[in-house]
Amino acid sequence: MTADLAARRREFPALAAPVHGRRLAYLDSAATSLMPRAVIDAVARAAVQAPGSPNRGVHALAEAATVALDDARAVVAHGIGARPRDLVLTSGTTAAVNLVAQAWGRANVTTGDTIVVSELEHHSNLIPWQELCAERGARLAVAPVDDAGRIQLPALAARTKLVAVAHVSNVLGTIAPIAELAARVHAAGALLFVDGAQAVAHLPVDVAALGCDFYAFSAHKMYGPPGIGALWARGELLDAMAPWQTGGGMVTSVALSSAQFREPPHRFEAGTPNTPGAIGFAEATRFLAAVDRSDESRVHAALIDAITGAGGTIIGRPECAVVSFTLADIHPHDIATIADGEGVALRSGHHCAQPIHTRFGVAASARASIACYSGTDDVEQLARALARVREVFR
């Protein structure tokens, strides 16, 4: 382990605590990444320095919260090359997908239209579109993936309204060519929605360069706190969208029979904002901008080698951060349980992406995923854990 990696790990308090008496090898960052001390401290400070309710008072603590929330939005927006006014703060990627499905979808999708999703989508980027199509009488088309796990976008029907894809698959670890897809989708007169939950921690994201129309992501996948995320959308799309959820904070005036709504992004943020979460989100964005991610590809390659060397069968051809696999006929839950006893945190199950497991002929898989604090010693610990799995089930 290099001195740089050792120093970085010291920034993550959760890594210091042993698991079952063993050093923790945390290989479940695709589910939730760990938080560095800077983010933890920022969230804690928010409770002391900005505990008021943003946009709802003139006293000092309310004004401090308002300033902190505005500053946080600006930092997160800058992290993806966006304007703050085009960034809606949500409770996460799932809420962002549902916001677009409801606020944009209900106004623009009707009987006979088509929405396209890919075969590898997380349920959060599938079910909202299923429900929208069922409600509006539209057709849900599926773009298949090849044996490597790459999306094969078909020729788009004349009335295709939107294509929804993951930037990085949470099961396969494949990277979608977003800029190329955006050009094809726009040529067909449709819009492109991107689920960026797995991408933001591992790839540089510039929404202008990508050329998409919507981009959603979550703080807890990129070293931030849970319960906060963002939707970026092109300004003219947000301007044309009616609010999905209504209530306090998103209005300019209210009478008993009508209400006037604020301009974007505020009209999409009903209720008291998660100010501590937003502050932590911004601190995670700063942390990510400063962290050196150059070693991730080397650790990822070592992870692939270790799993295949242990007799595992990898699903697809992973390119980034994630490796999902099966091991003989051993149930993934058993793999993860034994690995946990060896201090290795893995995910097991269908990872909220059942259709792609069906595509590859398996009901479930084990998944190892890395982050900036992952090293080859984690991979070696996983290899020993998998050897233990084989020993138990031989």
Q: Tell me which residues are annotated as active site.
A: 352
Report the run of H or E that residue 278 belongs to, with start and end: helix 275-290
- Identify the CA nearest to 308 among candidates 320, 326, 333, 322: 326
Answer for the pair 18, 344: CB distance below 8 angstroms, yes or no: no
Amino acid code (one letter) for 169: S
Q: Name residue 64's amino acid.
A: A
Q: Cα separation of 270 and 379, whole Å? A: 44
Rounded to the nearest 5°, which phi and psi values hold at 244?
-95, -55
Name 248's Cβ contacts closer than 8 Å, sequence gap at least 6.
56, 270, 271, 272
Q: CA 132, CA 164: separation in Å to the nearest integer?
A: 13
DSSP string, 27-52: -BTTT-PPPPHHHHHHHHHHHHHS-S
| Angstrom distance (rounded) from CA 21 to CA 341 | 9
Task: Characterise 227 by phi-psi region: left (phi > 0), alpha (psi -120 to 50), beta (else).
Answer: left
Tokens standing for residue 327: 């091991």
- Please give the order of strands across the beta sheet that includes 160-166: 87-90, 229-233, 214-218, 191-195, 160-166, 114-118, 139-143
Chain Cα centroid distance, residue 368 = 16
**What is the number of other CB atoms lying within 10 angstroms of the CB of residue 364?**
17
Pull the structure tokens for residue 352: 């909220």
* Strand pairing class (365-369; 347-349): antiparallel
Which structure tokens are listed for 236?
């003219």
